[in-house]
Amino acid sequence: MGDLLITNARLLDPQGGLDAPGGLLVRDGRILDLGPSLGVPEGAVVVDADGACLAPGLIDLRAALGEPGAEHRETIASAAQAAASGGITTLCALPDTDPPLDDPALISFVIRKGEATGSLTILPYGAATAGCAGKDLSEFGLLKEAGAVAFTDGQRAIGNARTMRLALSYARAFGSFVVQHPEEPALAAGGAATEGERATRMGLPGIPPAAESMLVARDIALARLTRGHVHFAHVSTAAALDLIRAAKAEGLAVTCDTAPPYFDLNETAIGEYRTYAKLSPPLRDEADRLAVLAALADGTIDAVASDHQPRDADDKRLPFAQAEPGGAGLATLLAVTLAQVHGGALGLLDALALLTSRPAALLGLQAGRLAKGAPADLVLFHPERGWRVEAGKLPGKAQNTPFDGRALEGKVLGTWKAGRRVFG
C-alpha cells in the first residue's frame, strides 16, 4: 500500500490539544507526519479534505454484537459496516453473547473476526462470571492472555457483593478492571421505565433511579476495600454521578462512561409507548439528563460509548413492558455527541476526547491520537453538515435507534483503518 496524504484538513487531536489547519501523511499504516505544510511523496494518494475535520478514529468503549449466537440481530461484519460509517475504528465488545465470552477460544474468535473485517479492531471484554450468570468467577488470567481488555457480565449487573469483591481483587491482580452495569437487580426486576409520574400515567412498571446509585455506592465501597478498579457503564443519574465524583476526589480507582441517549434524550422520548426508546438503564427525567451533561463537562465522565444493543423488529414490536430494551448506536455516536458542541455544553476537543484519547488511556491503547508513529485510524467529518436519522436506512443490520427522526449536524465523510479507506 502506497503513501496517503490528506491535505487541507482541520487537524484535531484532543490528547495534544491540536486544532489547526494542515495535512497528514500516512505510510505503512501509521502516521508519518502532520502539520501545516507537507510535501507530496512520489506516488502518494492525495485526498483533499476541503477544510473538513480530521480526527483520530473513534474508540467505542461499549457495544453488544449479535455474534456469536444472535446473528439475526447483528453480525460482526454488519456491525463493522455501521461502525465505519460512524467513524469508529476500535470497539469493545460485550461478552454476554450466546455462548458467552467466558472461554479463551471465544475471545480469540471475536478478535479474529474483527481483524477479518479489515475496518474494525474488536477488543472483547471477558465474562466476569461463568456464563455471565453472576456466580462463579471466570478464569481471568486465561481470558486476559487471550486478549480480553477487562471483565464484565455485560447487560447484567454483578449483584452479589462477595462475587463483585472477588472480581475486583482478581482483576487488580491481573492489571485489569471490572465494568459494572449499575442497576440493583432486585429493584430493577420487571421494570420498563423510570419510576415516577410518567411511568405511573402510562401504566408501566417502574425502575427507581435509586437502583443505579445504590449499586454504585456499594461498588465504590468494594473498590475502597479491594483497591481494585471499577468502571461504571452508561451512568444516567445525578445521584450516581455525585458518588462517582466524590470517589474520584478521594483517589479511588473509579471510572465511568455514559451513552448519547442519556444526555440527548429524556423520558419524554418514550412518548406513545415508543419501544425504540426503551433502553437499559431507562431514559431519565430532565434533571438527570442535565446532570449527565454537567458531568461530561467537568470531567467526571471518562468516555462516551455507543452502548450499541442490536434488536430486531420482533424484539421491539411488542407491548412496551414486554419489548426488549436496547438501542442501535454505532452510526449516530459522533453526531449526537457533536450536538452538545453545537449547543454549547462541550468544546469540540473535549467532546472528541471522550470518544478517542480518554477511552484509549483507560484501555492502555496507542490509538486515539494524531501523532507521529500512531496508528493511522482516522475519521474525516464535517461538523455542520446536516442529516436525519431514519430507522430502516442505517448502515448495518440493527435499525432500532432511539434517535429515529432526529435531525443532526455532523456527517462522517471518510474513515481510515491503518491508512486504508474503509468508508466514504
How many structural domains are present in the chain?
A: 1
Domain holding 163: CATH number?
3.20.20.140
Which pLDDT score is estimated for 37?
A: 87
Q: Is residue 91 part of a domain?
A: yes
Among 199, 252, 265, smallest CA distance to 402 is for 265
Within a domain: residue 35?
no
Residue 175 CB contacts under 8 Å (≥ 6 apart), including other chains:
none
Contact by Cβ (8 Å): 292, 212: no
Q: Which long-range contacts (CB under 8 A, 24 or more apart) does 239-242 make?
A: 239/209, 239/210, 239/212, 239/213, 240/182, 240/212, 240/213, 240/216, 241/291, 241/292, 241/295, 241/300, 241/301
pLDDT below 70 — which residues of the chain? none
In sequence order, the 6+-apart residues with CB closer than 8 A to the CB of 114 are 76, 80, 91, 93, 120, 121, 122
Contact between 148 and 134 (Cβ < 8 Å) = no
Q: What is the pLDDT of residue 386?
A: 97
Residue 26, in any domain of the structure: no
- Evaluated on CA atoms 215, 246, 329, 403, the torsion sign reads positive
Q: Per the domain annotation, does 210 fall within a domain?
A: yes
Asked, for residue 187, whether it belongs to a domain, the answer is: yes
CA distances from 199 to 195, 282, 321, 401 (A): 6, 11, 11, 21
- CA neighbours within 13 Å on the CB side: how many for 414? 18
Q: What is the pLDDT of residue 240?
A: 99
Please state, in angstroms and rounded to a whole number, the distance separating the CA atoms of residues 389 and 332. Answer: 8
Q: Is 250 inside any structural domain?
A: yes
pTM: 0.97
| pLDDT score at 1 | 76
Residue 272 lies in a domain: yes
Residues designated as active site: 307
Cell readout for 311 is: 434488536
Q: pLDDT per residue over 186-238, tens digit each?
A: 999 999 999 999 999 999 999 999 999 999 999 999 999 999 999 999 999 99
Whether residue 110 is contained in a domain is answered as yes
Query: Which residue in 20, 162, 132 sits closest to 69, CA to CA?
Result: 132
Range of the domain at 73: 58-363
